[in-house]
Structure 1
């Protein structure tokens, strides 16, 4: 009898209590780590029984037993295969894959994480460095100002005046392109803008991206690098936009479609369903292809669990979908996605992620969630004024704005395109994907604004000075006079800032979105892992 058989036998012949099963499973993991040749048949039988046992599902700490079982299966999948034991690998991966379809959340989560954190070939490469953000000299005095005379040296002639869009100044040019002057925010370092310019140059040189339309802007470079001073304009930037006092900026030329979004509300700019499907699918493919190369866009849209507590949370309030918490202001987060008609945008958010399997798994899930949220926002943008609570305090019902069939198709397009971009292979026929239930749940939760409240805790108020406190309340929709009347630090303040997906400091109200992200990320990683292993066999 092998060591694994000895460990598994007590459980297989008589039901063990939770603690004994947990200890046995972890000892099995230890054996698998030190003995690459031990027969693994007992591992499969034991793992199947563990995930099927109703007694374990009721345990408070059940996730940790399932995690141990999933990690044991992962170790089997990772064993060297000199004797052609690929059947063991295939069975281990099949068990992990089928575990993601179980009715209980704990084993689904454990199996998805084990698949999603499989190592890939890109992880064994030397850790890639970020593109060099050159052009930040010790002194920033004397930088050129991006005015008419300076632009003439690049043969750029603007047709009309400057227009603010967020923190950027835009101007149409005689060539038909758009000149963008992107300004540094207050409190940021100039190197951040230089890094964005460097990413533009780096991505333009990647041939793997030419398979799908992806316009990459062209930064303007001068003798001292890429930093310039923004042009002097009479109009102020939009409310809530605080810029660096020195007005440091970068300038780049881009296509007019760079600022066309898939979910615009204005009638003269609104896209039809087919156009939005194409944008979502192409964006998913591009995000997936870059991830496979170890390059992540970390913010297709800004995702937060709690914006109000950003300053005192270690995670800055950013959303960790693996925690399945409330998703803050989902509709507002979708207003200006960092992808659109021209492709991906806002290059400041690119980051090298090779060798970080957990981070990769979480980023892929965030990509899928972001794409689905924007898909939902497309339908809501048909009637942007229909939002919040009605006069009787009931959630505004916008479910009639959604096209269920189109949403289902979008979900399928996003998953398929991301899979193909990430794996470099065609989407497998018969792959597990059931968009109908997810579409129904998205319509139910995104179409009814049940969760509108945000709470500004006293502790967060105390961290603000009076000006910041008043500005915060105004930014959350409170009239200025009402904001000035509020006493800082007296009591928690309830603000109606939604819609959110979930109540304040509660779980997400659309857990199906988390399940989709977990299973989708896991199957993308597993798909690429299998292809890489097949090439080695």
Structure 2
């Protein structure tokens, strides 16, 4: 077998002109090494590295699958063999490819690094039953929390926020459905757990304190003062209650009429939240929605992926600016713990979630600039895309990306970054501003299949919310033809690729470097 291995390596090093023969040679090499990795050598690493980086077959439509197989074999040598020197060499080979390539070869190498198994053990929440909801009176709630009718109340989404003092609010977060009960119960459990490990966070992170009522977090008020009830727009059913600092409801990207965040505070909040996202992920606690990202919101009901954005596939990003309206990163730290998920380090999902975190940070940063003039959105009166690029500061955008990545990296790996991330930041920031600052992609297609899943009332309300008037809606019978609606800005045309592939390239690079370096520290390969 060793002789066959050498023959295969020599072919990959000196020939590999035929695509099918090259694919078979890599497959045979992978098969032989999985049977006995001790036969691998530096020549093996060089041969696989050459296949990916030289891109002899980059013109082939299936080239990604060849590069992926070669990269997976390098990843196998890095994680399954007993030779630490060869493991380090394999990792450096993959990192070199990520730093010096693009397209399918870059994607394959980044995904291979992103799939390295990490020594992360996720906590167990030991979730309690969510079927029980305690019924309590307003007086009982006040007695337990210090609340009273004189406390100023405001509605923020589905949360009722009562001011207890200048630095403390009591929040009732209302459930929208039975499935929401499970999510809210989980959120309260995460609050309780994180209170026990708050010493793990060396920077500000205001963790809410949940209340229990008769041994359950979920409760339902049997009565509610009329003068408060008249101010509530949501259905008053079950919910959870917690206290937290008022900064929990201060966002880093406010609109002009909201609490102002100056440049220095903006940078501090973003870098701190980047660190916290990375630190939580390093503990096996992953926030799945720093900003809710979708490929297609309209088709959520009938898509098996729920329409959620899977950035490695490089598809269009739906309504990016709206996704950042209420991010789950606040002045107090990470928010909305219902989106926390326990994930152990052997999971390949880490690569996608780390990329999600870094993409979300960039999107929220871009929305900070756009929100300085929120009226400049969509098409102008002549039908041309609004150009809001002058709202952006390129230097601040670059500083945000680099500093936030460094903070995330430190939180995730436990070490400060060494070398600068191999990204052409001048070009990257220029492309970001070109795409985030000009609303070229506004259209969305309301498919017949999605219309048919709605009632007439839902159909009418859906179109009213998107700017249609009633007379126009009456001329649009439900379920007969596709309807074009303007819901953007999006990143890319409907059912097309993302218009900003540089963002995907950045996510591949940054996520793979975070996971690779965490693996190196875990395995003491430095």
Q: Normalising by the residue count of structure 2, what TM-score does the alignment of the two structures yield?
A: 0.94
**Structure 1 residue aligned with 2:279:** 289
**Structure 1 residue aligned with 2:486:** 496
CA displacement at 1:26 relative to structure 2: 1.3
Distance 1:533 1:485, change over 3 A: same
Distance 1:159 1:406, change over 3 A: farther
Q: Which runs of 5+ in 2 are unaligned?
A: none
- Spell out the pairing of 1:203-352 with structure 2 (5 A cutoff): 203-207=194-198, 209-230=200-221, 231=224, 233-235=228-230, 243=235, 247-267=237-257, 269-352=259-342
Kindly provide the CA deviation profile for residues 226-273 of structure 1, in whole angstroms up to 9, marking residues without a partner as x: 2222545444655xx6x4xx6101111111100000000125612111
**Structure 2 residue aligned with 1:134:** 128
Matched, 1:107 2:85: no
Matched, 1:184 2:178: no
CA displacement at 1:189 relative to structure 2: 4.5
- Spell out the pairing of 1:324-473 with structure 2 (5 A cutoff): 324-473=314-463
8 Å Cα contact 2:53/2:101 also seen in 1: no
**Structure 1 residue aligned with 2:164:** 173
CA distance in 1, matches of 2:178, 2:129: 19
CA displacement at 1:166 relative to structure 2: 0.6
8 Å Cα contact 2:119/2:346 also seen in 1: no
CA distance in 1, matches of 2:331, 2:174: 23
CA distance in 1, matches of 2:356, 2:492: 17
CA displacement at 1:89 relative to structure 2: 1.9
**Structure 2 residue aligned with 1:51:** 52
CA displacement at 1:10 relative to structure 2: 3.0
Greater shift, 347-356 or 4-13, is seen at 4-13
8 Å Cα contact 1:200/1:216 also seen in 2: yes
Q: Which runs of 5+ in 1 are unaligned?
A: none
8 Å Cα contact 1:76/1:92 also seen in 2: yes
Q: Normalising by the residue count of structure 1, what TM-score does the alignment of the two structures yield?
A: 0.92
**Structure 2 residue aligned with 1:34:** 35
Distance 1:268 1:223, change over 3 A: closer
CA displacement at 1:433 relative to structure 2: 3.9
**Residue 39 of structure 2 aligns to a residue in which SS?**
coil
Kindly provide the CA deviation profile for residues 427-485 of structure 1, in whole angstroms up to 9, marking residues without a partner as x: 11344244322211110000000000011011111111111111211222323443344
Distance 1:453 1:54, change over 3 A: same
Distance 1:187 1:464, change over 3 A: farther
1:144 maps to which of 136, 144, 164: 136
**Residue 145 of structure 2 aligns to a residue in which SS?**
coil
CA distance in 2, matches of 1:154, 1:448: 48
Matched, 1:198 2:196: no
CA displacement at 1:494 relative to structure 2: 0.4
Kindly provide the CA deviation profile for residues 115-156 of structure 1, in whole angstroms up to 9, marking residues without a partner as x: 01101112xx5x642x23436455x4x6114x2553133333
CA distance in 2, matches of 1:382, 1:73: 47
**Residue 243 of structure 2 aligns to a residue in which SS?**
strand
8 Å Cα contact 1:10/1:16 also seen in 2: no
8 Å Cα contact 1:156/1:174 also seen in 2: no
CA distance in 2, matches of 1:461, 1:349: 29
8 Å Cα contact 1:136/1:190 also seen in 2: yes
CA distance in 2, matches of 1:522, 1:132: 32
**Residue 212 of structure 1 aligns to a residue in which SS?**
coil
The CA RMSD over aligned residues, in Å, is: 2.0
CA displacement at 1:48 relative to structure 2: 3.0
CA distance in 2, matches of 1:174, 1:73: 58
Kindly provide the CA deviation profile for residues 321-370 of structure 1, in whole angstroms up to 9, marking residues without a partner as x: 01110000000000000011000010100111115532111000000010
Equivalent pairs counted in the alignment come to 521
